[in-house]
Amino acid sequence: MTDTTAPLWPAPTAAAPVDATVALPGSKSITNRALVLAALADRPSLVRYPLLARDTRLMLEALRTLGAGIETEADAVRVTPGPVRGDAAVDTGLAGTVMRFVPPVAALASGDVRFDGDAQARLRPMGTVLDALRVLGVSIDDGGRGVLPFTVAGTGAVPGGDVTIDASASSQFVSGLLLSAPRYDKGVTIHHDGRPVPSQPHIDMTVAMLRERGVEVDDATANTWRVEPGAVRAVDAVVEPDLSNAAPFLAAALLTGGTVRVPRWPSATTQPGAQLRDLLARMGAGVSLDDGVLTVRGTGTVLGLDADLHDVGELTPVLAALAAVASTPSRLRGIAHLRGHETDRLAALAAEINGLGGDVTETEDGLAIRPAPLRAGVFRSYADHRMAQAGAVLGLVVPGVEVEDIATTSKTLADFPGMWSALLGAEPTA
């Protein structure tokens, strides 16, 4: 769905190579995991440098509604766990992490918890999570539809146990169950049966964050995860910068032949955005990491990319935008599951890049993108933050691109337009 009443944002073209240092806010994925685990923990804790954007504010509100104490301090959120409360309503917005991570928490409530979200959220796959919770002993009324809205009927405890799911449509089905599993009476063992699970780094992130809090997790067998029941230890967490949100800024360096530096870039991380180092280098960038600062330099060449993005699907929109202005063809593979993201991202990218004169075809599991001269036009964002970012990236080198609903970027960045202006304002004035 697209907001046809939203104003058009004239995407600025780069008058010169960019030269900027971009400090990125916290990772959406780490923030929302840290908040859920803090709400389920054995005592209060701090989540430091959290992302404060729509998806994480929805998570804060959901956990507050379910009984956690939430206090926002300078650069931190203090979370005080409490008994999970029923007779509550949770707004998921369009956040996959809220709609997949919070129902397993609500299953611990004493009473009903109703879930609903944006109109577009009602299209995102949920049935696997709901069916799994039923197998683990939870009663849920979804009217037989397997999507939002639905009601989780908590009884104050969840038996837990063994469940087999098909998580090929989203790794979040696995992560959501794992995060609450230590609080279920028998813990949880998940077996995946189906095509490969996408976004493995995000599952690794879930497992690592559980272990950091003293939870016993066995992931030694492929496609099986076992979480033992037990306390979730409260830890003060430091949230890394959101490396996936680095993508449009780093892309600007590549496209304009400029330089972009991102401080606090972790040397080791489970974030999929870490793979931008390799992916952008393959597209022609000079990439270096020194003293925690990632530097990406454009060399004046943007090469096409042939890559399997199954593990790093959320990088696709920006990489597709780069590929659309590359000098050689690209194949982006392994990303059929993007059809269930904020919007059908494969259809949306093909439609919007082609709308500017591009040459993109959808394949069964991705996109084939061939070089073509692009022209001015409207780039629709379909309420998808990363589509809007892709439009901004194209606008750097294609004069006259207007991005519809740039405000949708607030899903994971409080002020993307401001950051984008600062990026361009930092051009050397030579």
Ligand X SMILES: O=C(O)C1=C[C@@H](OP(=O)(O)O)[C@@H](O)[C@H](O)C1
Ligand Y SMILES: C=C(OP(=O)(O)O)C(=O)O
Residues engaged in binding ligand X (CB under 6 A): 29, 96-97, 170-172, 175, 198-199, 202, 313-314, 337
Between CA 366 and CA 373 the distance in angstroms is: 22
Catalytic residue among 61, 240, 314, 352: 314
Annotated binding site for 3-phosphoshikimate: 28-29, 33, 170-172, 199, 314, 341
Look up residue 166 and give its DSSP letter.
-
Stretch of 91-99, 200-208, 223-231, 272-280 contacting ligand Y, by CB under 6 A? 91-99
Nearer to ligand X, 46 or 315 (CB): 315
Among 95, 140, 177, 394, contact with ligand Y (rule: CB under 6 A): 95
CA 195/CA 166 separation, integer angstroms: 8
Nearest distance, CB of residue 386 and ligand Y, angstroms: 5
- Identify what 386 binds: ligand Y, ligand X, none; CB under 5 to 8 Å per kind: ligand Y
Q: Does 56 participate in binding ligand Y (rule CB under 6 A)? A: no
Angle CA(103)–CA(109)–CA(113) in degrees, nearest 5? 55
- State the binding partner of 297 from ligand Y, ligand X, none, CB within 5 to 8 A by kind: none
Residue 386 lies near ligand Y (rule: CB under 6 A): yes
Q: Give start and end residues of each alpha helix (H) in 274-344.
A: 276-282, 316-324
Query: Cα–Cα distances in Å, from 67 out to 88, 131, 193, 202, 280?
Result: 9, 25, 35, 27, 44
Residue with tokens 């994480």: 56
Residue 381 sits in the site that holds ligand Y (CB under 6 A): no
When the beta carbons of 31 and 45 are compared against ligand X, the nearer one is 31
We find the least distance from the C-beta atom of residue 66 to ligand Y, in angstroms, to be: 19
The Cα 129–Cα 299 span in angstroms is 45
Rounded to 5, what percent of the chain is helix, strand, coil?
35, 25, 40
Beta bridge partners of 379: 403
Least distance to ligand Y from the beta carbon of 153, Å? 25
Of 142, 219, 311, 314, the residue at the interface with ligand Y (CB under 6 A) is 314
Q: Which helix (H) or strand (E) holds 402?
A: strand 401-404
Q: Which amino acid is at 18?
A: V
Q: Which does 199 bind (CB under 5 to 8 A by kind): ligand X, ligand Y, none?
A: ligand X
Q: Is residue 97 near ligand Y by the rule CB under 6 A? A: yes
Residue 314 annotated as catalytic: yes
Closest CA to 125 of 338, 367, 340: 340
Q: Which of 315, 262, 251 is nearest to 285 (CA)?
A: 251
Catalytically active residues are 314
Binding site for ligand Y (CB under 6 A): 95-97, 314, 341-342, 386, 412
